[in-house]
A and B are shown apart, each in its own frame.
Chain A
Amino acid sequence: MGNTIKPNTLAKNPESPKRHDHYSDRTLRSILSSVRSIALVGASTQWRRPSYYAMKYLQRKGYKVYPINPLRAGQEVLGEVIHPRICEVPSSIDMVDIFRNSEAALDISKEVIANKDDKGTQVLWMQLGVRNDTAAKLAEEAGLTVIMNRCPKIEFARLSGELGWYGINSKIITSKRLRGPHHD
């Protein structure tokens, strides 16, 4: 699920053009099969929005999703109360998924870093179309694993073979039974 995709506007650090261009299937699978709780920053109450799609899908795959949006705080989406900020989520957060633009990702990342020990956060994930190399650098220095410009829904669907059901190229070649990154 993308934010409006404008690849040329990604806030990419020119000093390290290749870094974060690619993640191995092993890395993505490992993250998606270990993470259980996800704070989704930029959640929407409108069912046509990509963030709503992603949240609904992730819930169905067994993740606990905490929607975050200061403008919608207190409202409900998909059975969850929207929190204004990460620090107000009353539980642990394994991963934060940023559904905002690349510029906004920096401040959100700082907030994630500030709360990381309290919330036990280990992964900072920026949505498809969102990339901020400065934010990534700070987060990595703080010990977080960072994924940028990817959608966890799409990656989950790709790794489990579902994306192929729609003719999308999963790039997965295997003669073993394919298992999705589900929780054991």
Chain B
Amino acid sequence: MINRPKILNKGIEKHDEHPDESHGIETLSVHAGARVDPATGSRSTPIYQTTSFVFDDSEHAAELFNLQTFGYIYSRISNPTVSVLEERIAALEGGRGAVAAATGHAAQFLTAATLLEQGDAFISSSNLYGGSITQFGTSFPKLGWTCHFVDGTDPHSFEAAMNKNVKFIFCESLANPGSVICDLEPLSDIAHRHGVPLIVDNTLATPYLCRPIDWGADLVIHSATKFIGGHGNTMGGVTVESGRFDWFQNDKFPGLTKPDDAYHGITFAETFGDFGFTMKMRSVALRDFGPTMAATAAWNLLQGVETLPLRMERHCSNALAVAEYLNAHPKIGWVSYAGLRTSPYFELGKKYLRKGAGAVFTFGLTGGYEAGKNLVNSVELFSHLANVGDTRSLIIHPASTTHRQLTEEQKIAAGAGPDVIRVSIGIETLDDIIADLKQALTNT
């Protein structure tokens, strides 16, 4: 018989029935995913500006390539600066894991590539960023993937479009450009009833305002280019996996539930369990298609995301005040901002975006297309450019720019008709933002 010291240290709680106190979103924004650098003690995350990582020996290399042990191989697949950002966004969204990509569009593409086979389909809200409508409607079909666009404001339209080839439902929580809020709960019910995941683009809401996973989303996508980075200086995208979707419930996802030829016969959802999607998206889609986020980009985005909660608070309060100002202005015909009581999305906003309705919204001038064009030309502080989610206030005429490739019907369906002006309200002094609009409106 063996006489051995007691294994367990004193003071261990044998059973821990209460989860660790989870941290607040401000703490997560600053800390999640970041480690004190093990080699140097550096507290700020270093930029690991390297393509490749040394193996201990051939056996170690083989184990890494077999995914039998964890470690870095080559920065196309993973990089220590990028993985800090990935873990941080996963933490902010309350997810299990995340994969970063070069842009938001790349994250969308890699997500679709991980879930879809040729001949597969998905259903998407038509209230989307124009570039996503084009990606889904024009470029994806060339790969054998069909998107059925439906009215994002009517959950029944998703149900009606369901068929056996459909592999996911896609929507934007807070849609670009017109501040349309998607009713996430019924959409997740519909998706789950049909055994498919709900994918939510949470770019405009950010995890500060809404965590789609809390409402039943299975995957969350960001264009980190926008509020995550927040300073209009860096492109990036991220896909977060909730870890809750059971891929084995049906035979719709052979890429996750059957041995994978692209990875010498691993069954991803079995071997990696609740982060099987993340592993597959990284080890197959990102590896093979290659739109990787650069380490420097990840560092810029990490710097930005540290202040996400502070920025969003100010973005939202400024945006609400500007929307109210415009709503009362005689030259403005209408304002579509979910933070206004007059918005049809005000009630959904109270449910899903309790801390504010975001900073991006649209309005139309009584003078129509011409007046709108004049306004865009007359602003001084606002920047006329094709982005949202910058510290700076931004303005654009979507019909002739971001949503230009769409048909007239698509433009109107996406909330980007001919008279529509989109703004993304920055974090400058509120009086200065309003003064700029005031002078520009005087001139139009």
Contacts and interface: CB of A to CB of B under 8 A. Distances in A.
B19 A22 contact: yes
Interface in B1-43: 1-2, 4, 6-9, 12-20, 22-23, 27-28, 31-33, 35-36, 38, 41, 43
Interface string A6-42: 1110000000001111111111001100110000000
Contacts of B98: 167, 169
A21 to B, nearest CB: 7
Contact of B279 (A6, A166, A174): A166
Nearest to A151: B273
A30 B9 CA distance: 6
Contacts, number: 168
B72 A165 contact: yes
A57 B69 contact: yes
B416 interface: no
Contact of A157 (B4, B70, B99, B100): B70
Interface stretch (A48-56, A66-74, A80-88, A100-108): A48-56
B38 A167 contact: no
Contact of B266 (A27, A48, A119, A168): A48
A94 interface: yes
Contact of A169 (B14, B70, B97, B282): B97
Contact of A94 (B7, B267, B273): B7
A96 interface: no
Contacts of B2: 92, 118-120
Interface string B46-79: 0000000000000000010011111110000010
A52 to B, nearest CB: 8
A31 B273 CA distance: 22
A129 B8 contact: no
Interface string B80-99: 10011011001100011111
Given A167-B282, A169-B96, A60 B63 contact: yes
Contact of A164 (B19, B33, B270): B33
A162 B71 CA distance: 7
Interface in A165-184: 165-171, 173-178
B254 interface: no
Nearest to B278: A167
A31 B70 CA distance: 21
A123 B20 CA distance: 22
Given A48-B266, A119-B2, A178-B36, A166 B83 contact: yes
Interface in A115-145: 117-120, 122-123, 128-129, 140, 145
Contact of B36 (A119, A167, A175): A175
Nearest to A92: B2
A5 interface: yes
B27 A167 contact: no
B68 A56 contact: yes
A112 interface: no
Contact of B91 (A50, A60, A169): A169
**B: contact size bracket:** 35 or more
Contacts of B32: 169, 173
B70 A163 contact: yes
B265 interface: yes
A122 B7 CA distance: 7
Contacts of B20: 24-25, 171
Nearest to A161: B35
Given A5-B248, A34-B9, A60-B63, A166 B278 contact: yes
A43 interface: no
A1 interface: yes
B97 A166 contact: yes
Contacts of A129: 273
B149 to A, nearest CB: 30
Given A166-B282, A169-B97, A122 B273 contact: no
B372 to A, nearest CB: 42
A53 B271 contact: yes
A157 to B, nearest CB: 5
Given A31-B8, A171-B22, A175-B43, A145 B14 contact: yes
Interface string B245-283: 010100000000001000011110111111100110010
25 contacts: A1-B271, A2-B270, A2-B273, A5-B269, A23-B15, A23-B16, A26-B16, A27-B16, A30-B12, A34-B8, A56-B69, A57-B68, A60-B69, A117-B1, A118-B1, A120-B2, A123-B7, A161-B35, A164-B83, A166-B78, A167-B78, A169-B87, A169-B91, A171-B91, A173-B31
Interface of A: 1-8, 18-27, 30-31, 34-35, 47-48, 50, 53, 56-57, 60, 92, 94, 117-120, 122-123, 128-129, 140, 145, 151, 154, 157, 161-171, 173-178
Across the A-B interface, give the 9 residue pairs with the lowest CB-CB distance, nearest first: A167-B86, A2-B273, A162-B70, A24-B16, A169-B90, A168-B97, A120-B2, A34-B7, A92-B2
